[in-house]
């Protein structure tokens, strides 16, 4: 591997999730929410991606980063 390829890999925030796709995009129709709270991963370390599994805590501790999930909250009627 070239040094450029190694540097690009080192800088990528997504180390392994759905790398066969050109761009990872997920969408949710908010009206479809059945639970009061759904957490979506933004650290790319979740074992249940696109949902947050709490892996950001370990990532933040190891790297000094400060990432956290996107929370979708069901609006009360």
Residues at the interface with ligand FES (CB under 6 A): 41-43, 45-46, 52-56, 67-69
Which helix (H) or strand (E) element contains residue 38? strand 37-40
CA 40 – CA 8 distance, rounded (Å): 25
* Shortest Å, Cβ 13 to ligand FES: 11
Has 23 been annotated as catalytic? yes
| Matching residue, tokens 């990532």 | 59
Catalytic residue among 19, 23, 58, 73: 23
Q: Closer CB to ligand FES, residue 67 or residue 72?
A: 67
User: Catalytic amino acids?
Assistant: 23
């Amino acid at each position: 591997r070239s040094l450029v390829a190694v540097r690009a890999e080192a800088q990528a925030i997504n180390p392994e999730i759905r790398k066969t796709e050109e761009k990872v995009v997920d969408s949710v129709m908010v009206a479809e929410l059945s639970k009061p709270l759904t957490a979506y991963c933004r650290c790319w370390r979740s074992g249940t991606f696109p949902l947050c599994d709490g892996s950001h805590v370990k990532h933040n501790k190891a790297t000094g980063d400060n990432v956290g999930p996107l929370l979708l909250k069901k609006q009360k009627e």
